[in-house]
């Protein structure tokens, strides 16, 4: 316990806690305009998330890596069960009701998938990813994606691809394999457009290129998000004083477009402060990965960093109208119990890796 406290990296706890706290204030502001008490639920989720953070930071992360194959099998069974027996909620079969509370297993599945990837690649990787290695990784990541897509949750399925993307960045990829990956991605995109994406999803992409072509339909989200951000100006309209939010013009205020609400009330300066907090969190994770002494720790922390960073990046770009609406929330900031629990669990694993590194010295 003394070593645990001595080498505890407070930046991996206090920085995300600061981000979530700001998010709760934004949710409170939304509540004052909509009477939807998301902020109360988010406080409860935060307390539970902190418990998970300390749980994962206290137990050696290698234990979870070792049992990851069993956890992965359970994940596939649960996702399959959701497709067969799950209730359709908001058009998706991705939720389990526990005591009146909705839990999204696919969110926790990202932790399990990352752990299994680390288990497989932590020992024998030396010369970079070859085709067989990448094929193994694609199968591990691809199976949950297929089951999640079958449940019609495209946004969460997309976040799983961040695992593969980060793996390509971290482990050296041979040029021929990189070419194959690019060609494969193009072919996959074409096939998805023709056989996987539904009409409304295709329309989102088309309207993204020309938002004004459907200003009251699919393009409405993007247009209103940009208007809301722009109305905040440099210093913002002030806490609880956002007009776009108050008048109900902005959809998905508490999830996908919560950044727009924040920008309207706290302005450009407030957004910069929030981005600096995220930047410091990413730096803390990068430093933890950089000082790693083995490939397993490097992979684990890098995959955690990649998962949070790419989700953050896509949400920001969607809010600015630079990407089509993808249904991806802003990690640590948006409302969402399963997402919050997952991110704090991942940060707890990174904290444990940091502590163990210095405790061994």
Average confidence (pLDDT) over 241-265: 75
**Which residues touch 343 (CB under 8 Å, ≥6 apart)?**
16, 49, 308, 331, 332
pLDDT confidence tier of residue 202, bands split at 50, 70 and 90: low
pLDDT confidence tier of residue 126, bands split at 50, 70 and 90: low
Residue 157: pLDDT over 90? no
Q: What is the pLDDT of residue 31?
A: 84
Question: Could you report the per-residue pLDDT of 162-186, keeping only the tens digit for each?
Answer: 998 898 888 777 777 777 777 777 7
Question: Could you report the per-residue pLDDT of 12-30, keeping only the tens digit for each?
Answer: 999 999 999 999 999 998 8
Q: What is the pLDDT of residue 51?
A: 97
Q: What is the pLDDT of residue 113?
A: 96
HEC per residue, 309-347: HHHHHHHHHHHCCCCCCCCCCCCCCCCCHHHHHHHHHHH
Q: What is the pLDDT of residue 220?
A: 60
Q: Which residues of 250-270 are buried (b: 16+ CB within 10 A; e: fewer)?
A: bebbbbbbbbbbbbbbbbeeb
All structural domains of the chain with their residue ranges:
2-359
Average confidence (pLDDT) over 220-226: 68
Average confidence (pLDDT) over 216-234: 69
Q: What is the pLDDT of residue 32?
A: 80
- Measured distance CA(285)–CA(315) in Å, rounded: 20
Q: Specify the pTM.
A: 0.90
Q: What is the pLDDT of residue 133?
A: 83
- Measured distance CA(5)–CA(10) in Å, rounded: 10
Average confidence (pLDDT) over 297-312: 94
Question: Could you report the per-residue pLDDT of 55-78, keeping only the tens digit for each?
Answer: 999 999 999 999 999 999 999 999
Whether 248 contacts 34, CB under 8 Å:
yes
Per the prediction, the chain carries an average pLDDT of: 83
- Please calculate the CA angle 59-282-224 and round it to the nearest 5 degrees: 120
Q: What is the pLDDT of residue 318?
A: 87
Residue 101: pLDDT over 80? no
Question: Could you report the per-residue pLDDT of 316-358, keeping only the tens digit for each?
Answer: 998 888 877 777 899 999 998 899 999 999 999 999 999 887 7
Q: What is the pLDDT of residue 127?
A: 64
Residue 248: pLDDT over 70? no
Q: What is the pLDDT of residue 324?
A: 77
């Amino acid at each position: 316990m003394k070593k645990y406290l001595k080498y505890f990296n407070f930046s991996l706890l206090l920085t995300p806690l600061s981000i979530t706290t700001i998010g709760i204030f934004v949710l409170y502001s939304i509540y004052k305009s909509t009477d939807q008490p998301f902020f109360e639920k988010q406080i409860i989720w935060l307390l539970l998330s902190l418990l998970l953070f300390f749980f994962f930071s206290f137990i050696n992360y290698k234990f979870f890596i070792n049992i990851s194959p069993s956890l992965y099998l359970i994940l596939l069974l649960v996702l399959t069960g959701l497709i067969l027996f799950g209730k359709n909620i908001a058009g998706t079969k991705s939720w389990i009701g526990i005591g009146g509370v909705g839990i999204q297993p696919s969110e926790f599945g990202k932790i399990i998938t990352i752990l299994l990837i680390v288990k497989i690649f932590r020992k024998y990787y030396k010369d970079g990813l070859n085709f067989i290695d990448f094929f193994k990784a694609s199968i591990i990541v691809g199976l949950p994606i297929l089951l999640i897509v079958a449940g019609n949750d495209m946004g969460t399925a997309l976040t799983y691809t961040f695992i593969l993307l980060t793996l390509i960045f971290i482990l050296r990829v041979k040029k021929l394999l990189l070419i194959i990956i690019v060609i494969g991605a193009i072919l996959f995109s074409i096939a998805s457009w023709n056989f996987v994406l539904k009409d409304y999803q295709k329309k989102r992409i088309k309207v993204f290129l020309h938002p004004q072509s459907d200003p009251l339909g699919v393009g409405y989200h993007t247009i209103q998000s940009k208007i809301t951000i722009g109305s905040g100006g440099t210093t913002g309209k002030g806490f609880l004083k956002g007009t776009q939010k108050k008048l109900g013009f902005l959809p998905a205020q508490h999830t996908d477009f919560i950044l727009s609400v924040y920008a309207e009330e706290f302005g450009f300066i407030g957004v910069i402060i929030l981005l600096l907090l995220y930047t410091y969190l990413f730096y803390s994770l990068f430093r933890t990965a950089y000082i790693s002494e083995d490939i397993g720790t490097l992979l684990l922390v890098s995959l955690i960093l990649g998962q949070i960073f790419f989700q953050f990046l896509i949400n920001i770009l969607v809010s600015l109208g630079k990407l089509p609406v993808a249904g991806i929330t802003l990690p640590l900031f948006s409302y969402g119990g399963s997402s919050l629990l997952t991110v704090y669990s991942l940060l707890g694993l990174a904290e444990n890796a940091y502590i163990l590194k210095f405790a061994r010295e």
